[in-house]
Structure 1
């Protein structure tokens, strides 16, 4: 057995999503609605397989791209927030924060099972979706997976998951 460690990373121009969001912070404050041109990078570490790969680049790019496509040109809304409340309003989602509210067409929203639409939790959401996609396709989970979400140049968050 070698002491070498192997990892692969994908960070392509099409692993992006342009979305609107707002977050709550300090317990009693809420940002204005704004958007980002998010970029996603995924890195996995593991031993080499029988093909001498850590992981197939094409599969990793395709799986990640499918997730970023679902988020692209959507309003990102957290379903697990205790401060941002979602209400069914017919063809729209009515979104409330204290005395403020907004109405968004359902098909223009991405409802995410997270507490806040921070870059950190978006990275964790994407990592979870990637693990689900790998498992559902019968692919082995890598020993380590890192997902980075950059919300603007020089400003990103990363999550690391270990098997």
Structure 2
């Protein structure tokens, strides 16, 4: 009998978020603030459990839905950037890049533990959080977890995490 490998993939209309961001690149460039209507897909590889599931589709969807909801309609800021300094000043969060700065109401921001708010690092952030949520539920580690973040149609980044 041939060996089998299993994976599940969830990509649903509920796994979307609209957020503002800006990134730095090439060491000395900082783009303008802009936004995306992001779409997220998640894929889990692993053995079948006693229910003949890799993981429960609905539970996986709901975990990812909760994660993306925390990013929806927020300004995404990099908390670990070597170029952008993010501080709270009164009721606002201020981001500084060289002589430029932006001030946002703190409740409208998410300061992420990443160096840049690229699609690649957003995918990694969501994947790390999802793995932690899976572990908290007592789920076995998957063989691999992939998270894809699409910024716009035809433009996406994916990370593969192997616990």
TM-score with structure 2 setting the length: 0.98
Aligned position for 2:103: 103
Aligned position for 2:53: 53
CA distance, structure 1, for counterparts of residue 132 and residue 6 of structure 2: 23
Aligned position for 1:10: 10
Q: Does structure 1 conserve the Cα–Cα contact (< 8 Å) formed by 2:146 and 2:160?
A: yes
Q: What's the secondary structure of 2:77's corresponding residue? A: strand
Instruction: Using the TM superposition, give the Cα deviation of residue 103 of structure 1 relative to its aligned residue in structure 2, in angstroms.
Output: 0.3
Aligned position for 2:123: 123
Aligned length: 163
Map Cα deviations across residues 40-95 of structure 1 (whole Å, 9 max, x no partner): 00000111111101110011000000000000000000000010001221000111
Structure 1 segments, 4+ long, off by >4 Å, are: none
Instruction: Using the TM superposition, give the Cα deviation of residue 16 of structure 1 relative to its aligned residue in structure 2, in angstroms.
Output: 0.5
Gaps of 5+ in 2: none
Aligned position for 1:20: 20
Q: What's the secondary structure of 1:71's corresponding residue? A: coil
Q: What's the secondary structure of 2:102's corresponding residue? A: strand
Instruction: Using the TM superposition, give the Cα deviation of residue 146 of structure 1 relative to its aligned residue in structure 2, in angstroms.
Output: 0.3
Gaps of 5+ in 1: none
TM-score with structure 1 setting the length: 0.98
